[in-house]
Each structure stands twice: as structure tokens, then as C-alpha cells.
Amino acid sequence: MGSLPHVVEDCLGIVQVYSDGSIFRLSDDQINFRNITVKDDGSVVWKDIIYNDRNKDGKENLYLRLYKPITTKCITNKQQLPIIYFFHGGGFCVGSRTWPNCHNCCLRLSSELEALVIAPDYRLAPEYRLPAAMDDAFASIKWLQHQALSNRITYDADDDSWINHDYDRVYVIGDSSGGNIAHHLALRFGVGSPELAPVRVRGYVLMAPFFGGSLRTKSEEEGPDEPFLNMQILDRFWRLSLPIGATADHPLANPFGPLSPKLEPKKLDPLLVIVGGNELLKDRVEDYANKMKELNKDVHYFEFEEMQHGFFTNDPFSQVANMVLQEIKYFMCKTSS
């Protein structure tokens, strides 16, 4: 008799891959979020919408969550709100718009930046390996284009504030694997995002983008394990999310890998790159920003001392998060025209 199936890959206890190829995944309501509580003071309203109905039985519907501040200077002055896309992290294997850390982050972004925030889910590995997440991220922004062309973001006939936003001022923010997504969207759309008209992406914010490579950086080799991240976890994320047989030098993992597209001729909208000083990914993110600057890209790089991976998303109401928001505000102001 053969042996019973056993776990061969374990992602934080949330996703487990068995020796027979089967996959077990906890539902969002089964996950212990270790005392992360939602901080909703009522200043922002939100709702979920399907943006990609993949089949009629509804098993693969993809949702996004919309956030709108109730009262802002923009609304008071009848000005239009900017639009922010927020792509969550999780190594392409875990994460959701419904997780309390992601929800808190979007509540804060919407209220502090006075913006309509759109937080899409995307298909996760290993059930759906890359480029599935990239395809879904693209589809979520094409959804916005469809709304712009048909003027369909209207949910209450007596409340026009849902449609009081500016399709010409869209920003993409991504955390970790979401930051990787933001990079690839920037490459795909190019300057002015002409294929999205009348939607216009003005800039991209990459928070500790999850990039990889076959050669370890100094911070990866010498950096201490973080509370929720170590090199074993990072390597596992790549094994499970990249196409089978691919290495961390795959173009979707390493922007400067041997098979990656040459970035010098690419014309990109401005990038704001943020990382914590005590992150395993710090050197890789800093190297990305420096190389992009050498290629004459408009890149603004900020490193926050002593911070570890996910410091903004996991505590968006902290003092250092306030500093991050100030940098994003300045970036949005600088790139708004």
C-alpha cells in the first residue's frame, strides 16, 4: 500500500500542498489574525462588487471593494475625488481585500488621501500560478475603464458622491506582491496609459515590492527573520506562484533577470518606492530603485528606519504610517497634472 498524502508545502498554515498534489486552503473566516481588529470610525463607507464574472456558476467570481470618504474638502467643494487602486500583498499565495489589515489600510487611505479607493482581489497560487494575478489586476483596471465609458458607478440615485471622482487622476498602490503587480502594470500601460482612456494613471506607489532573484542580496543573507517573514517563506512563495520549473529570475519575479524585458526604452509614469530599513527585501528594493534611476526613470525612493515588511499595511494608523501618507500626498500632488 502507498503512503497517505502528506504536507509538502505549508504557507503559514493558510495554504497546504499535499504529496498527491491536492491543496487545502483556509477560508478567510477561519484564519486567526492575531488580534488585528478593524478600526472603522464611520468616516468611510465601502461596498463589494464583482468585477470579473468568470463563469455562470459563480465559483470564480472576483470581487473588488470600493471605499469612499463621507465628508471631504473635495466633496464639500464639489471637486472630484482621485482614484486609488490598492493591491494587497501575500506572496501571490495568500491575502484578500477582506483581511482586517488590508481593510484597515484602505479605510485609512480613503479618509486621509480623500480618495475613492478600489481594492481588488486576484487569483492566488498555487491553484492559479502567475501570470493569473497579473491578468486579474489588469482586468480590474479595465473594469474601471468600462465604468468610465458607461458612467456606471452609481449605487444610489439620491447620492451622486459615488460618481464624484476623477478618472484622470488614478494612482496604483501595491504592497509586497501588490508592489510587484504595480511595477508590471506600469510597464504594460506606459506613459499616460493610453489604452485605458479616459482613465489616466498618474503614478505608481510600490511598498516593499516583492521581487526575487537567484543571487541573494546582503539583507536576504544577513537580515534577521521578521515576525511573519523569512527566506524560507519567500522561497516557498516563489516555488508555489511562478510557472512550474521557473526560478526566481523569471521576468515576473526579477525585473532585471536574464530573460526580463529591457527597461531602458520603456517610458513610464512616476514611481514612488517605499521600504523598511529592517526588511529582508530592503537591498533588493533599493537596488531596483537605483537601477531604475540609472535608466532615467522618474523614481522617488524612501527608506523608513527600523521598519519591517508590511509596516504600513499592518499598522496604517501608526506615526510612521502618517509619514508614509505624507509622502504619498506629496507624490500625488506633484504628479496630478
Provide the annotated active-site residues. 176, 279, 309
Report helix, strand or coil for 274: strand
Q: d(Cα 193, Cα 185) in Å, to the nearest integer?
A: 10
Which DSSP state fits 45?
E
Burial (CB count <10 Å: 0-12, 13-18, 19+), residue 287:
middle
Q: Are 257 and 213 in contact (CB under 8 A)?
A: yes
Q: Are 210 and 175 in contact (CB under 8 A)?
A: no
Q: How large is the C-alpha radius of gyration of the chain?
A: 20
Q: d(Cα 309, Cα 150) in Å, to the nearest integer?
A: 39
Cell, residue 123:
487569483
Q: d(Cα 176, Cα 285) in Å, to the nearest integer?
A: 10
CA angle 219, 176, 245 (to 5 degrees): 80
Q: 273: which residues sit within 8 A by CB, 6+ positions away?
A: 206, 209, 285, 288, 289, 292, 299, 300, 301, 302
Q: d(Cα 189, Cα 74) in Å, to the nearest integer?
A: 28
